[in-house]
Amino acid sequence: MSSAVRELEELYKLLEELRQRIRAVEAVSREVAEALALIVRLQEGVLSILKRILGKLDEHSQKLNTLVRDVSDLKVRVGRLEERMDRIEKDMKALKEDVNALKKDVSVLKEGVSALKKDVNTLKRDVSELKRDVSVLKKDMRDVKVTLSRIAGELEEEARDAVPYMLERTIGMRVELEKLAVEGIVEVNLYGVADDLCVLGEVRTRIGPSVIKKLCRSLLTLYEERRDLLRDRVVLVAYGLDVLDIMRDLIGGCGIGILTPRGIVFKPRVMRLKEAVETCRRVLERLK
C-alpha cells in the first residue's frame, strides 16, 4: 500500500512538473507568436520601405536618364561652340591682318590727304580766278544776248523789207509781210496774203534744219487749226544771214525758198495748198 502511495505521489509530482513545463511551453509559444507577429510587421515595414526606395530609385533613374541626355546635348553644343570659337579665332586673325593693311592704307591716305590739301588750295585759287573770269564772261554774254536780240529784231525788219522785193523778182508778185501770232496755236516771223496767194516765212541768223522744221510745222498747224489764214496758193521762205551747207542735200529742189542778204540760195516756188502740205510732210520725214 505504501509503495502504491509513493508511486502515486511520484505520479503527482510528474504531473505537476508536466503542468509547469506545459505552462512554460505555453509562455514560450506566446512569446514566439509575439515574435512572429513582430517579424511579420517588420517584414511589412521593410517591404514598404523597399517599395518607397524602389519608387525613388525609378524616379532618380528617370532623372538620371534625362541628365545623361542633357549632358549629351551639352557635349554637342560644346563641340559646336568650339568650332565657332575656332572660326572666330580665324576671323580675328584675318581681322588683325585687315587692320594692319588698313593702317598702311590710312598712312598712305594721310599722305594723299596732305597732297590733296595742297591741290585744294591750288584749286581754290583757280576757282577764285575762274569766278572772276565767269563774272566777266556773264557780262560779255549779256552783251552778246542784247546784241543778238538787236540783230534778230533788225534782221526781221530787214526780211520784211527785202523778201517782198525778192519774191517780186522770182514769182512776179509783191506781198507785204508782217509777223503772225495766233495765241496758243502758232507764231511765224513772216506772213502775208495777196489775192489767192499766202506767204509764210521764218527768219534766223543761220538757217539750218530746225528752221525749216518750224516753218513746215507752222504750215501744217495752220492747215489743221486756222485754214482761213491760208490761201489756195502758198510760198514758203526762210531768210537768214548764213545757210548751213547740208541744207542743199536736205531740201534742195523741194520748193522752199532760202534767201539771204547776198541773194537767193534756193528759189521759192508757188505751190498749191495741198502740194505745200505734202511737201512739208515729206521734208519733216526727211529731217527726222
Least confident of 80-94, 119-133, 208-222, 228-242: 119-133
Tell me which residue has cell 524616379.
59
Q: What is the pTM for the complete model shown?
A: 0.51
C-alpha 192/C-alpha 178 separation (Å) is 6
142 pLDDT above the threshold of 70:
no
Instruction: Tell me the domain boundaries of the chain.
Output: 1-126, 175-286
C-alpha 37/C-alpha 31 separation (Å) is 10
Report pLDDT for 26: 75
SS (H, E, C) 155-185: HHHHHHHHHHHHHHHHHCCCCCCEEEEECCC
Tell me which residue has cell 560779255.
140
Residue 274: CB partners within 8 Å, gap ≥ 6? none
C-alpha 6/C-alpha 12 separation (Å) is 10
Least confident of 78-82, 150-154, 203-207: 150-154
* pLDDT tens digits, one per residue of 210-254: 999 999 999 999 999 999 999 999 999 999 999 998 888 888 789
Report pLDDT for 125: 76
- Whole-Å CA distances, 265 to 171, 217, 239, 247, 248: 15, 22, 10, 10, 9
175-286 belongs to which CATH class? alpha beta
* pLDDT tens digits, one per residue of 145-168: 434 444 555 899 999 999 999 999
Report pLDDT for 149: 43
Choice between 161 and 112, residue whose per-residue pLDDT is larger: 161
CA-CA-CA-CA torsion sign (238, 239, 244, 249): positive
